[in-house]
Amino acid sequence: MVRHDDEQPTLTVGLLGCGTVGSGVVRLLADHAEDIAARLGARLVLGPVAVRNPSRDRDVEVAHLVSDPDLVISDPDVDIVVEVMGGIEPARSLIVGALERGKPVVTANKELVSTLGGELFDLADGKGVRIEYEAAVAGAIPIIKPLRESLAGDRVRKVLGILNGTTNYILTKMTEEGVSFAEALGDAQRLGYAERDPAADVEGFDAASKAAILASLAFDARVVAGDVYREGVTRITATDIGHARRMGYVIKLLAIAEEVDGAIGVRVHPALIPAEHPLASVRESFNAVFVEADGAGELMFYGRGAGCLPTASAVLGDVVSVARALLSGERASNGRAHRPATIRPFEDTTVQYYVLLDVADQPGVLAAVASTFGDHAVSIRSVWQEGTGDLAQLLLITHAARERAVQATLHDLRALPAVRDVASVMRVEGGEV
């Protein structure tokens, strides 16, 4: 309940979770209290904070710790509920409980928003309260509001994102320092970027959740994490990185969302991008989102995608925004009405390919390989070959081709006697359309 104790109204924030992000929220709320009060015309104060173990030592001071999260959502003094616990349950039930009580919610929960977001938005709209989730995608980077609000008068065609800091850190270290995948992952975990389960990062699940959220906003449709085609980075080798560099490319784990002829394609996979593409310069654990829109042209949003204070910054931005709505008494609507998504079958994706083959170094082999591509109407853009004795490595980059045609080509290449191994296959982005 908004209180008017002194000259300024006061709003109380209840916090669900006080781990890495939650403790950042507590710190920023205290450190920036005066600035926020000046901007908002109201004070934001921290109310109850729900944690699993209230007696544990923590590096932020919290006056009112509780172990029962229901005490946060049911507290009549709590005006805004912030959920930074992560995971589906109990986060979902608590958010539902808060919304049902008419309390706006700010969440950083990509897993929840990318799977059950539709249910939560409908409930929030029905209650006339806001639910915000800027921190769920790309940490500190403002990208939810730009897609939902700043670009509301435009038409987004494509979104390309580096949405996982751990894998970007790993690929940067492998590219620049030649370290192994395992060594780079260990470093990323020590630096605190990684999810508890490494598969969430390295197999692309984390980026897929974020990609679904961005696609929903970009194309006004309910895209869920399960709609996203996903491949991780665990099979990328130093050889791939070296070949990519020689051909003028950098390897990144990309999230790609596009709408073609009314169908939405969303995919997360490693891709070669031209070294001069703006995303190629995104190094270390940084994230970036590259947006192509009819009117705006190309936009890039860049920053820290994880970590205590960067993520807390996005959470607090949302808190201030919902506080403004509360103070103005507006009946909130959570943006656009989302239609059900028409998802493009992955086999219909049209994209360039990098194919690395180990072949016998004999007359006619290059011709046989080239004619296999030709049989499936896949056009070759560039070829590089190097002999290694009886064998040769043959690297081809195709023009844009249908996924299903490339898969059929690969099937036939594997059957050629001269082809000893299809050593690597990766998509190439940021070049041909």
User: By rule CB under 6 A, what string of x and - marks binding of each residue 267-306 to ligand HSE?
Assistant: --------------------------------------xx
Beta bridge partners of 288: 162, 302
Rule CB under 6 A: is residue 194 a binding residue for ligand HSE? yes
What whole-number distance in Å separates Cα of residue 182 and Cα of residue 201? Answer: 13
* Cβ count within 10 A of residue 60: 16
Taking the complex as a whole, how short is the minimal distance between the CB of residue 106 and ligand HSE, in angstroms? Answer: 16
Torsion sign (Cα): 390, 391, 392, 397: positive
Name the nearest CA neighbour of 245 among 302, 171, 192.
Answer: 171
Interacting span for ligand HSE (CB under 6 A) from 118-126, 160-168, 172-180, 228-236: 160-168
Taking the complex as a whole, how short is the minimal distance between the CB of residue 171 and ligand HSE, in angstroms? Answer: 12
Burial-class residue 352 by CB neighbours within 10 Å (0-12, 13-18, 19+).
Answer: buried
User: Within positions 205 to 224, which residues make up the interface with ligand HSE, using CB under 6 A?
Assistant: 206
Which residue of 12, 109, 164, 352 would you call a contact of ligand HSE, by CB under 6 A? 164
Closer of 40 and 225 to ligand HSE (Cβ): 225
User: Within positions 299 to 338, which residues make up the interface with ligand HSE, using CB under 6 A?
Assistant: 305-306
Size of the residue set binding ligand HSE (CB under 6 A) = 10
Closer of 106 and 306 to ligand HSE (Cβ): 306
Phi, psi of 361 (to 5 degrees): -90, 80
Which residue of 100, 187, 195, 292 would you call a contact of ligand HSE, by CB under 6 A? 195
Beta bridge partners of 257: 159, 266
Give the H/E segment covering residue 98. helix 91-100
Taking the complex as a whole, how short is the minimal distance between the CB of residue 194 and ligand HSE, in angstroms? Answer: 5
Give the H/E segment covering residue 359. strand 350-360
Beta bridge partners of 252: 271
Taking the complex as a whole, how short is the minimal distance between the CB of residue 362 and ligand HSE, in angstroms? Answer: 46
Helix (H, G, I), strand (E, B) or coil at 1: coil
Taking the complex as a whole, how short is the minimal distance between the CB of residue 155 and ligand HSE, in angstroms? Answer: 28
User: By rule CB under 6 A, what string of x and - marks binding of each residue 367-406 to ligand HSE?
Assistant: ----------------------------------------
Burial-class residue 33 by CB neighbours within 10 Å (0-12, 13-18, 19+).
Answer: middle
Taking the complex as a whole, how short is the minimal distance between the CB of residue 118 and ligand HSE, in angstroms? Answer: 21
What whole-number distance in Å separates Cα of residue 196 and Cα of residue 13? Answer: 27
Rule CB under 6 A: is residue 193 a binding residue for ligand HSE? yes
* Annotated catalytic residue within 103, 110, 127, 210: 210
Could you please report the per-residue DSSP string of 21-50? HHHHHHHHHHHTHHHHHHHHTSEEEEEEEE
Interacting span for ligand HSE (CB under 6 A) from 30-38, 119-127, 189-197, 227-235: 189-197
Rule CB under 6 A: is residue 49 a binding residue for ligand HSE? no
Taking the complex as a whole, how short is the minimal distance between the CB of residue 188 and ligand HSE, in angstroms? Answer: 7
What whole-number distance in Å separates Cα of residue 340 and Cα of residue 148? Answer: 17
Rule CB under 6 A: is residue 166 a binding residue for ligand HSE? yes
Preceding omega of 310 cis (within 30 degrees of 0): no
Taking the complex as a whole, how short is the minimal distance between the CB of residue 189 and ligand HSE, in angstroms? Answer: 10
Interacting span for ligand HSE (CB under 6 A) from 3-11, 86-94, 177-185, 187-195: 187-195
What whole-number distance in Å separates Cα of residue 282 and Cα of residue 288? Answer: 7
What whole-number distance in Å separates Cα of residue 234 and Cα of residue 237? Answer: 8
What whole-number distance in Å separates Cα of residue 121 and Cα of residue 217? Answer: 13
What whole-number distance in Å separates Cα of residue 70 and Cα of residue 16? Answer: 9
What whole-number distance in Å separates Cα of residue 366 and Cα of residue 82? Answer: 60
- H/E/C letters for each residue in 227-244? HCEECCCCCCCHHHHHHH
Closer of 48 and 204 to ligand HSE (Cβ): 204
* Cβ count within 10 A of residue 169: 24
Closer of 69 and 310 to ligand HSE (Cβ): 310
Interacting span for ligand HSE (CB under 6 A) from 24-32, 147-155, 162-170, 423-431: 162-170
Rule CB under 6 A: is residue 201 a binding residue for ligand HSE? yes
Closer of 131 and 306 to ligand HSE (Cβ): 306
Closer of 193 and 353 to ligand HSE (Cβ): 193
Catalytic (active site) residue 210: yes
Interacting span for ligand HSE (CB under 6 A) from 9-17, 47-55, 161-169, 386-394: 161-169
Residues annotated as catalytic are 210
Q: Which residues bind ligand HSE (CB under 6 A)?
A: 164-166, 193-195, 201, 206, 305-306
